[in-house]
């Protein structure tokens, strides 16, 4: 997956990696939602957002990845774009998983129907 200009190896199909994503993305989302931007200075708001996203990325992908992604900049727009890139990658893979599950269920249904029809014909003989 690509976050900003950084290519990151991550497999949403792996249960442990998916679980790690779910845990830390949820924590980050809750923390971001709890910030009251109206009660703090803008610089504090930007730093807080950066620290939340940085912690999320480091927890999911490994310590130090946030520095690599953000080039040591604590830029609000970069943080938001990077977090959106992460969520977008997850949604794309969720769509692939959903399609694969639908295909599997369709094939299983067809196989069951075919077997059921064959069994029905045999009992009629």
Rg (CA), the chain: 22
Element (H, E) at 7: strand 6-7
Residue 32 and residue 14: Cα distance in Å, rounded?
Answer: 26
Give mean pLDDT, residues 17-43. Answer: 92
Backbone angles phi, psi at 2, to 5 degrees: -115, 125
112, two tokens: 């069951």
pLDDT tens sequence across 114-124: 666 555 655 66
Give mean pLDDT, residues 37-41. Answer: 86
- Higher local confidence (pLDDT), 110 or 68: 68
Residue 93 and residue 15: Cα distance in Å, rounded?
Answer: 13
- Higher local confidence (pLDDT), 109 or 51: 51
Beta bridge partners of 6: 3
Q: Where are the alpha helices (DSSP H) in 1-125?
A: 15-33, 42-61, 65-70, 76-124
Residue 118 has a pLDDT of 57
Q: Which residues contact 17 (CB under 8 A, 6 or more apart)?
A: 10, 11
Residue carrying the six token digits 């992604």 = 69
Residue 60 has a pLDDT of 95
The pLDDT confidence band at residue 38, using thresholds 50, 70 and 90, is confident
Give mean pLDDT, residues 8-29. Answer: 91
pTM (2 decimals)? 0.76
């Amino acid at each position: 997956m690509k976050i900003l200009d950084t290519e990151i190896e991550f497999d949403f199909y792996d249960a442990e990696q998916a679980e790690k994503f779910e845990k830390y993305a949820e924590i980050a989302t809750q923390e971001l939602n709890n910030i009251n931007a109206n009660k703090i200075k803008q610089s504090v708001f930007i730093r807080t957002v950066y620290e939340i996203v940085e912690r999320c990325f480091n927890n999911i992908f490994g310590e130090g990845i946030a520095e690599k992604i953000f080039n040591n900049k604590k830029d609000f727009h970069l943080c938001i774009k990077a977090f959106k890139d992460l969520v977008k990658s997850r949604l794309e893979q969720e769509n692939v998983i959903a399609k694969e599950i639908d295909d599997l269920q369709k094939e299983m249904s067809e196989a069951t129907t075919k077997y059921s029809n064959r069994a029905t014909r045999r009992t009629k003989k």
